[in-house]
A and B are shown apart, each in its own frame.
Chain A
Amino acid sequence: MAKYFIHNDEQELLQGHELLNNVPSGWTVIDYQNEGEQADVSDAALAVEASTGINISGHPSIVLQLNLFDGLFNADGSKNTDTRTLQWKCLHVDPSIDMSWTDIQTMIDTFVTLNDANHTALQNETRVGD
């Protein structure tokens, strides 16, 4: 499963936990802006957007697929408790707080955990209009 680390040569990425020097295996590093050009998006970043169908909305960031619920109920009205889909997401990495790759993994896990909790909470609302 492809995973991308998007950066624009932020100097913070070479300080502290040095994210750019310690990219775990499995991640593809993408330079957001072509060197020496004023264009906003590099060819490599555009290719990621084209292949994933999402915006790279900022940098530094990670682009990856998360396995998330995509609906509250099944077609028969029962609660959806097991059907998930892989959804591309762009999550921003704050360069100013010296995150480590462990912190980034925690951020990813928290995103999924909160999304799941929200899913369950909304399912438990009283259905109105049935």
Chain B
Amino acid sequence: MKQIDIRADTMKLAMDQLRSIGSQLYNKQHSGVYTSADIANQVSTGDWGNSHASGAGQHRDQTAQTTNKRSTVICTGSLYLNGNFAGLYDYAYISGNITTDAVDEMNAFDHWFTGNQDTHWALVCVDGTFTQGRRSIIKPPVRKLGFVLNVDGAYTLNGITSMTNRGANHSGTGDSHGYTAPVAIPVNGSITIPATGGAGAARASRTTTGTSSNNGGTATNGSGGGGSGAVSIHGNITSCISGAGAAGTCFVGGSGGGGFMMLHGGTTVAADSDEFMDGIANGGAGGNPPISIGGNYAGMGGNGNPGCLHRGTGGLTLNSFSIGASGNTSPTEPTYYGFGESVDIEDKRSSTGVSHYLGRPYSSYDNSLSGLPGTLIILVNGAYTGTGHATSVGIGGANIHDGYGGGAGGSAGGGVVCVLDDDGSGGPTSKVSAGVGTNAYSGGVGGAGSAIRGTYG
């Protein structure tokens, strides 16, 4: 694959450069006149004799992945915007008009993305019009710094284009170990996604019985900050503090802080250095619940990468429930909700008190409560229409009907969806909500993200 560094003032100009490069790479083979030096060079780089990225009507064709065929991802490199290093990228180029509305096209988008997690943008160009059918879900398979879809023609979005749960953990603490400093992302000459999004919620504190939490902030054109965890005390108390949310960034919504419920609260918890209850900055893990819940109830971490770590009551047999079913011994070790691979582990419910099977999947895409919303930029050189969804929303923690009772963690801040087209209006309204608070002793909610509309110009 070609390695090409891109330097541009704005993301739109970067995509213009890449579209030009893409069309040349795409058309280079099988046409024109070559010198022997050209041939030698292409043989040495593995380019000679290869067919290029699949085009109109062929993008789903699996033969594109067989010997001497290429995927649609045709170059990679570093991305510099307005003089700032904005991360690495992978670029996919699709030549010609495409329509995805047939069964054999449902996985077309597997060819658009790489497995480079946290450190790379997914930049995709459809060099023509794009009609996305109702059953088409376009979403990177792994977390990305952002996903830019550039359609050089009209874009009819009837399906789902999403960065929900795909915001990068660019903190350097994630399983990818990748760190990218947040920088302002100029989309065009007038719209800039700020390096720092909404502020993370401050730790919530109580010195009397009751429940408190704080909410994440918002930022113009930015992602939302994460909510704090709940501090929920129902007996004697000295002082208790829940975990803070993290601020949103240009790449990802903020993670939530850890929360808890106690009968008697006599410690400072989140203020203790070894509790790690604050959400990790730059798309990192949600804050943890405290090490010791003190009996009776449960604590839940905030949303993040990973998110919603749960802690039970240390071997206490439950009359009702806190994590899982009545009569169970709440786990003495921390556990991620929905972590298991067997039905016995995942199918949690209470048989007394509240008796509900899961009212929803743990996460609509990932079967867990991990993940933060990312940055989705749609650049349309034509009309943007359709009845589908462009979305990058945060998720919340486990609810009562998910088999959880206790003090909840903070929810994730919302993501950023920026859509530019010919007239700056119309088409699906982007969804950028923060994760909802739980339906009991809720942690703080994240700040809403930004649904931005503008003109391609």
A residues near B (Cβ < 8 Å) are 8-12, 15, 33, 38-41, 54-59, 61, 70-73, 75, 77, 89-92, 95-96, 111, 114-115, 117-122, 124-130
Contacts and interface: CB of A to CB of B under 8 A. Distances in A.
A5 B20 CA distance: 46
Contacts of A59: 433, 448
B400 A72 contact: no
B264 A58 contact: no
Interface in B424-446: 428-429, 431-437, 439-440, 445-446
A129 B264 contact: yes
B359 to A, nearest CB: 9
Contacts of A114: 354, 356, 399-401, 439-440
B434 A58 contact: yes
A55 B439 contact: no
B50 interface: no
A128 B454 contact: no
Contacts of B449: 40
Given A58-B434, A111-B439, A126-B316, A71 B209 contact: yes
Given A39-B220, A40-B219, A57 B445 contact: yes
Given A8-B451, A114-B439, 14 more contacts: A38-B220, A38-B450, A55-B434, A55-B446, A57-B445, A58-B393, A59-B433, A71-B210, A71-B234, A90-B437, A114-B440, A121-B352, A125-B320, A128-B263
Nearest to B411: A57
Given A8-B429, A121-B354, A126-B319, A55 B296 contact: no
Interface string B206-224: 0001110001101111101
Interface string B308-341: 0000010010111110000000000000000000
Nearest to A74: B209
13 contacts: A10-B428, A11-B428, A11-B429, A40-B451, A57-B434, A57-B446, A72-B234, A95-B431, A114-B440, A121-B350, A125-B319, A128-B316, A130-B263
Given A9-B429, A114-B401, A122 B447 contact: no
A119 B440 CA distance: 8
B140 to A, nearest CB: 21
B389 to A, nearest CB: 6
Q: Which of A71, A75, A77 has the most CB of B within 10 A?
A: A71
Contacts of B319: 124-126
The 9 closest A-B pairs by CB, nearest first: A58-B433, A121-B353, A128-B295, A121-B320, A55-B215, A57-B434, A10-B429, A72-B234, A57-B445
Contacts of A8: 429, 451
B219 to A, nearest CB: 7
Nearest to B352: A121
Contacts of A91: 436
Interface residues of B, number: 64
B221 A38 contact: yes
A41 B445 CA distance: 16
Contacts of A58: 393, 414, 431-434, 436, 448
Interface in B212-270: 215-216, 218-222, 224, 234-235, 261, 263-264
B294 interface: yes
Contact of B445 (A40, A90, A117, A124): A90
A43 to B, nearest CB: 14
Nearest to B440: A118
A9 B440 CA distance: 30
Contact of B414 (A57, A73, A127): A57
A33 B235 contact: no
Interface string B398-411: 01110001100001
A93 B232 CA distance: 27
A86 to B, nearest CB: 15
B454 A38 contact: yes
A40 B218 contact: yes
B437 A89 contact: yes
Nearest to A37: B220
B433 A55 contact: no
Contacts of A89: 437
A8 to B, nearest CB: 5
B41 interface: no
Nearest to B449: A40
Contacts of B393: 58
B440 A115 contact: yes
